[in-house]
Amino acid sequence: MQAGLLQTYNNSAQRRGAGAWIIASLLFAFYILIYFTEAFTPVAHAIGLSGKWNLYGILYTIAILSGGLYFFKRHGNSRYHRYRTISVMLVQTVFAFSIPWFMELMQTRGFIFSLFWPLKIDYFYPSYIMEYPLPVILYAILGSLIIVPIATFLFGKRWYCSWVCGCGGLAETAGEPFRHLSNKKPGAWKFEQISIHTVMLLALITSAIVLINWGLGKEVNGVMVPMYPAFSTVVFKIQGIYSFFVVALLSGVFGVALYPILGSRVWCRFFCPLAAYMGLIQKLGRFRVTVKDDMCISCGNCSTYCEMGIDVRMYAQNNIDVKRASCVGCGMCAHVCPRGVLKLENKWDPNPMAEESKIKVFDL
Amino acid sequence: MHYVIIGNGVAGINAANQLRKRDETSSITIISKESDHFFSRTALMYVLCGQMSPSDVEPYPRDHYQRMNFTRVRDEVVALSPSETSLKLSSGETIQYDRLLIASGSMARSAGWPGEELDGVGNFVTWQNLEWLTEKSRTAKKAVVVGGGLIGIEVAETLLAAGIEVTFLIREKWFWPIAMDQNEGLMIIDHMRHHGCNVRLQTEVKKIISQEEKVTGVEIGDGEIVDCDIVVATIGVVPQTGWLVESGIELDKSGGIVVGDHLETNLPNIWAAGDCTSVVWFNGIRRPEQLWYTSRDQGRIVGLNMSGDKRVYKRSTFYNSAKLFDIEYTTAGYVNFNFEGEQNWYHREPDTNRTTRITYLPDGSVTGFNMLGRRWDHRILVDWVDEKRQLDWVLQNLHIANFDEEFFPSFKIDTQALKSGVV
């Protein structure tokens, strides 16, 4: 057994008991206040910070660092888990927190090098990105369109989702006590396929029309002026809607507040447009969870502790390698398997879309 | 056609699934005294220690029986009447069958200790055992676990994790001698002791000590009394076939149902599969194979045969795996059969609990692998045994079969030392 996971179900806060609902309510309230009010601005000022988002950044980093230590206590006996946890802790501290902070001290706008479009949709909004120096602009564009797909093809989306990403980083550390709460039912899988691709499509459309609108602008006395003001109004409205529903509500409020109810990867699994984009590449790429034939005892530790709600056991007991778009490669299924059946691997597959390498919602 | 399956375990449910795949219309009835849902018996310990919820250990979605149109009967079968093709249930009802599968599994071996019937003494095989031990472990302070095998170490580990003081009584000289040699078995015992488990070797229980029906301790061989509130006996399992003694079904001396190549019994339209079945092993000896994998395979084959096939159940080269506390264990081939002239190649990686043991014959061909502390791909190891690969070749290529997590310290053997054979 995995020492860190003992008594998981004996703790009410970890099985949607009263404690879980209290934590969820507090998180919900916190996110509403920070996103939609200025309640935290005086708090930030009082401790010498320039605004509420700096305060949020500090809290977020503390959550990842302390959650990371907790994770070490539970799974520190595995090198894979040690390395990737150190990675998310470092990326958060250095790239997501310190560098932008330092840039702001230098009187430039902070830039987070560990985010990519379309998770950070602003990177394809010209009004946002054009304010940065050319190397940063190139990094944002090439990173999203070249580095992300190539790295995902080679290593699976795990290189990002469970080694780099801030959202994933929080899920893997502070969200660790709740990973088993993800819904494993076939219905959740169907919902995920629809919801995540819908958000990806919305991100694409929003980015596209913002770019078109910018391309249609003309310069008058050094100021960009829209050529078709009516179109621009619509574009701004859509931009605002995306930012409210997807960025604030889904990734912020629901993504984190629902940890104790639906598990730690609600945003990543159901809504993240970058996860959807990388998921499509992952299906064609090298990454898979290899299943050792006929060794599975159907115990279900893998499925229970899959934060993405993949019914890994269904694959393992049917001798089918797991190649799922949603898999973030956290490695927990392989780690908790008492029979060493599963192994995360990057290897060439001559025929990635072969019929026998797929499993439909369930088979016998 | 009415198929009746006795037993809702891995053999029974696999047979039922195969039958339904072949035959969409016949009625299939599954009788179980133990549970409404198929669950993974090997995962009982994870429910006991709170690592999984009871429904987490069910391999199929809850609506499986509805979707597959299986009828379930929760009752105990008390008698089989082949002449009337009927079963008698403990409720007094009878069930008629056209074709019958007996997959009644195994049950805990009775220890025969005076006091064994007390409420504080139990086993860890069934769902009811799980409920009993869950209840007991809430209040128990000290436990005695008897029996140096896999279930024993799992129970010991789980009770320790629940904060209970555990004394593990092992009759033999080291842990699990049917799977481990002395080096390995003693290494595991060191590891258990390191985790705070009080292990007593070459110790047997004489009787259970109690006061007013409450267990207070066990008396061991030399008259010493070990204090405890609960005793968990994990001294093996036997086929659950007592109810068949009068039926005319042929049983072997261990109580296993004697079956032919197609898993058919000596009586018409009756098959048997899983732990209750006695099959012929590779070495010609007939005995039950009480393993998850073999029960699963037998269930799949018997389901096909009941629907008209004539498939032969042939045990492939042995393999198994386990996790002993946090030490991974993989075995492949035949490490514990003491072939004539057999020798061991044994290596323990310095300062670790990682060992490699390869058994081989005088002609150099390998017969088996016993591996601790690492993960191995049993498929490759089994192939090597089947291909009778030479020990030298195997040692040079062993890394191919390694299946450890990424970044796990890589598997290396000092080739210079390897030649001398004293790594």
Q: How far apart are CA B268 and CA B83, in angstroms?
A: 10
Residue B204, both tokens: 């047997």
Per-residue pLDDT at A175: 96
Phi-psi region of B338 (alpha: psi -120 to 50; beta: other; left: phi over 0): left
Taking each helix axis from N to C end, the angle separating B150-161 and B182-194, rounded to the nearest 10 degrees, works out to 10
Percent of chain A with pLDDT over 70: 95
Stated as kind and residue range, the H or E segment containing B17 is helix B10-22
As beta bridge partners, residue B165 has B142
Q: Do A3 and A72 contact (CB within 8 A), yes or no?
A: no
Q: Do A16 and A258 contact (CB within 8 A), yes or no?
A: no
Q: Is the model's pLDDT at A261 over the cut of 80?
A: yes
Q: Say if A340 is an interface residue toward chain B (CB within 8 Å).
A: yes
Per-residue pLDDT at B20: 95
Q: Do B179 and B336 contact (CB within 8 A), yes or no?
A: yes
For residues A231-247, b (16+ Cβ closer than 10 Å) or e, as one string? ebeebeebbeebeeebb
The whole-number average pLDDT for the span A210-222 is 83
At residue B71's C-alpha, the angle toward residues B65 and B74, to 5°, is 100
Q: How many CB atoms lie within 10 A of CB B399?
A: 11
Q: How far apart are CA B78 and CA B88, in angstroms?
A: 6
Q: Do B49 and A1 touch (CB under 8 A)?
A: yes
Q: Give Cα separations from A114 to A123, A163, B279 (angstroms).
A: 12, 10, 60
Q: How many CB pairs under 8 A join A and B?
A: 123
Per-residue pLDDT at A362: 41
Q: Do A153 and A284 contact (CB within 8 A), yes or no?
A: yes
The closest CB to that of A301, out of B46, B322, B404, belongs to B46
Q: How far apart are CA B360 and CA A20, in angstroms?
A: 56
Radius of gyration of chain B (CA): 23
The nearest alpha carbon in chain A to B14 belongs to: A364
Separation in Å, CA of B302 to nearest CA in chain A: 16
Per-residue pLDDT at B413: 73
Q: Is the model's pLDDT at A223 over the cut of 80?
A: no
Listed in sequence order, the residues at least 6 apart from B419 whose beta carbon sits closer than 8 Å to its beta carbon are: none
Q: Say if A79 is an interface residue toward chain B (CB within 8 Å).
A: yes
Separation in Å, CA of B256 to nearest CA in chain A: 23
Per-residue pLDDT at A352: 57
The nearest alpha carbon in chain A to B410 belongs to: A79
Q: Tokens 């006695």, residue?
A: B278
Describe chain B by its helix, strand, coil percentages, rounded to 5.
Answer: 25, 30, 45
User: In chain B, which residues have their Cβ closer than 8 Å to the Cβ of A79?
Assistant: 405-409
Separation in Å, CA of B301 to nearest CA in chain A: 14
Q: How far apart are CA B346 and CA B356, in angstroms?
A: 6
The CA-based dihedral angle spanning residues B4, B9, B14, B15, taken in that order and rounded to the nearest 10 degrees: -20
What is the mean pLDDT, run by run of 10 residues, along chain B of 423 residues?
97 96 95 96 94 95 94 97 97 97 96 94 97 95 95 95 95 95 96 97 96 95 94 96 96 96 97 96 89 95 96 91 95 91 92 95 96 96 96 93 94 65 50
User: In chain A, which residues have their Cβ closer than 8 Å to the Cβ of B162?
Assistant: 7
Describe chain A by its helix, strand, coil percentages, rounded to 5.
Answer: 65, 5, 30
Separation in Å, CA of A163 to nearest CA in chain B: 14
Q: Is the model's pLDDT at A294 over the cut of 70?
A: yes
User: In chain A, which residues have their Cβ closer than 8 Å to the Cβ of B23?
Assistant: none
Please tell me the total number of residues recorded for chain A in this structure: 364
Stated as kind and residue range, the H or E segment containing B225 is strand B225-227
- The H-assigned helical ranges of A119-248 are 126-129, 134-142, 148-155, 158-161, 166-172, 186-215, 229-242
Per-residue pLDDT at B57: 97
Residue A242, both tokens: 């995306």
Q: Say if A12 is an interface residue toward chain B (CB within 8 Å).
A: no
Listed in sequence order, the residues at least 6 apart from A321 whose beta carbon sits closer than 8 Å to its beta carbon are: A288, A289, A290, A291, A315, A357
Per-residue pLDDT at A363: 45
Per-residue pLDDT at A364: 39
Q: How far apart are CA A175 and CA A165, in angstroms?
A: 14
Q: Do B52 and A300 touch (CB under 8 A)?
A: yes
Residues of B with CB under 8 A from a CB of A: 10, 17, 21, 40, 42-43, 45-46, 49-53, 56-61, 157-158, 161-162, 292-293, 297, 319, 321-323, 326, 328, 330, 375-379, 403-409
Q: Do B161 and A6 touch (CB under 8 A)?
A: yes
Q: Can you list the domains of chain B with their CATH numbers?
A: 2-108+237-306 (3.50.50.60), 121-233 (3.50.50.60), 319-420 (3.30.390.30)
Q: Do B16 and B301 contact (CB within 8 A), yes or no?
A: no
Q: Do A300 and B59 touch (CB under 8 A)?
A: yes
Q: Give Cα separations from B254 to A78, B278, B336 (angstroms).
A: 43, 8, 20
The nearest alpha carbon in chain A to B403 belongs to: A343
Enter the ipTM. 0.94
Residue B398, both tokens: 């062993």
The whole-number average pLDDT for the span A220-229 is 76
Task: Please classify residue B200 by burial: count the beta carbons closer than 10 Å to its beta carbon, then call 0-12 exposed, 13-18 middle and 19+ buried.
Answer: middle
Q: Do B51 and A294 touch (CB under 8 A)?
A: no
Stated as kind and residue range, the H or E segment containing B416 is helix B415-420
Listed in sequence order, the residues at least 6 apart from A76 whose beta carbon sits closer than 8 Å to its beta carbon are: A82
What is the DSSP-derived secondary structure letter of residue A4? G
The closest CB to that of B21, out of A300, A331, A364, belongs to A364
Bigger pLDDT: A216 vs B271: B271
Percent of chain A with pLDDT over 90: 82
Q: CATH 3.30.70.20: which residues of chain A? A: 285-357
Mutate to test the interface with B, among A10, A162, A292 (most CBs of B within 10 A): A292
Q: Do A295 and B58 touch (CB under 8 A)?
A: no
As beta bridge partners, residue B345 has B358
Residue A77, both tokens: 């006996």
Q: Do A300 and B377 touch (CB under 8 A)?
A: no
Residue B420, both tokens: 């001398």
The nearest alpha carbon in chain B to A317 belongs to: B59
Distance, C-alpha B124 to centroid of its chain:
12
- CATH number, span A285-357: 3.30.70.20
Bigger pLDDT: B177 vs A358: B177
Listed in sequence order, the residues at least 6 apart from B116 whose beta carbon sits closer than 8 Å to its beta carbon are: B110, B208, B233
Sign of CA dihedral B290, B293, B294, B297: positive
The nearest alpha carbon in chain A to B59 belongs to: A298
